[in-house]
A and B are shown apart, each in its own frame.
Chain A
Amino acid sequence: MHLELFTVLIFGGAVIAGLLGALTGLGGGVVLVPLLTVLFHVDIRYAIGASLVSVIATSSGAAAAYVREGFSSVRIGMFLEMATTVGAIFGAFLAGRVPTRALAMIFGVVLIYSAWLSWQQSRRKQEVDHPESPWSDRLRLSGSYPDGCGGEQHYKVDRITAGFATMFGAGTLSGLLGIGSGAVKVLAMDQVMRIPFKVSTTTSNFMIGVTAAASAGIYLHRGYVDPGLAFPVMLGVLIGSLVGAKYLVRAQVSLLRTIFTLVILALGVEMIVNGWVGKL
Chain B
Amino acid sequence: MTGQRKFDDQRMEYIMGRLLQAGVMLASVVVLVGGILYVRDHAAAPMNYRIFVSEPAFLRHPGQLFRHLAAGDGAAIVQFGILLLIATPIARVVFAVIGFAIEHDRLYVAVSVFVLMVLMVSLLYLS
Contacts and interface: CB of A to CB of B under 8 A. Distances in A.
Contact of B118 (A45, A74, A85, A206): A85
A46 B126 CA distance: 18
B10 interface: yes
Nearest to B85: A56
A40 B112 CA distance: 40
B54 interface: yes
B24 A57 contact: yes
A154 interface: no
A247 to B, nearest CB: 19
Interface string B6-33: 0001101110111011011001100110
B47 A227 contact: no
B14 to A, nearest CB: 6
Nearest to A222: B54
A221 B126 contact: yes
Given A56-B89, A215-B122, A63 B17 contact: yes
B91 to A, nearest CB: 10
A238 B107 CA distance: 35
Contacts, number: 209
A249 interface: no
B92 A7 contact: no
B49 A43 contact: yes
B108 interface: yes
A32 interface: no
Interface in A180-238: 206, 209-210, 212-218, 220-232, 234-235, 238
A246 interface: no
A6 interface: yes
Nearest to B79: A227
B32 to A, nearest CB: 6
Contacts of A210: 89-90, 92-93, 115, 119
A92 B51 CA distance: 20
A53 B89 CA distance: 12
Given A214-B119, A221-B125, A226-B49, 7 more contacts: A1-B46, A3-B39, A61-B24, A67-B14, A213-B122, A225-B82, A231-B32
Q: 8 closest A-B pairs (Cβ-Cβ)?
A: A223-B54, A67-B17, A231-B35, A227-B78, A223-B55, A60-B20, A209-B89, A43-B52
